[in-house]
Amino acid sequence: MKVVVQRVSQASVDVVNELGTIDPTFEPQQIGPGFMLLVGVSDEDGEEQLSWLAHKILNLRVFEDEQGKMNRSIKDIGGEILSISQFTLFADVPVREGRFGAHMRVGLINDGPVTIAIDTDNL
């Protein structure tokens, strides 16, 4: 698995239909302070990778404490997570073919910015 973790003040996602308008069958999602995750999953990924990754993300100490130092986890602040499937993290560019999934519009206010890439190949 490959994940890009972004600390955000807020983030949202909605789905765009073929007409280029927001798809009314998809309920837009939004969060306040927390993480927006772009998640790529490969055929080799399983429970071990998922557990390791969840533990790693939940314990990242990138939120400020009372002294303004990055020393708190998302659990400590009661933050939220918006997870977005992002198969293109495994892209071998140039892209040759295919269209997968829906066209999405993702909005975020990156806080910091703090952006961390995690790859379970480094387990």
- Our answer to whether residue 35 is catalytic in this structure is no
Q: Catalytic pick from 30, 88, 90, 115?
A: 88
Q: Is the dihedral of CA 44, 45, 46, 51 positive or negative?
A: positive
- Our answer to whether residue 21 is catalytic in this structure is no
- Our answer to whether residue 26 is catalytic in this structure is no
Q: Rounded to the nearest 5 degrees, what angle is found at the Cα of 113, between the Cα atoms of 27 and 26? A: 5
Q: Catalytic pick from 6, 35, 63, 86?
A: 86
Q: Is the dihedral of CA 122, 36, 95, 43 positive or negative?
A: positive
Q: Catalytic pick from 10, 26, 29, 87?
A: 87
* Active site positions, annotated: 86-88
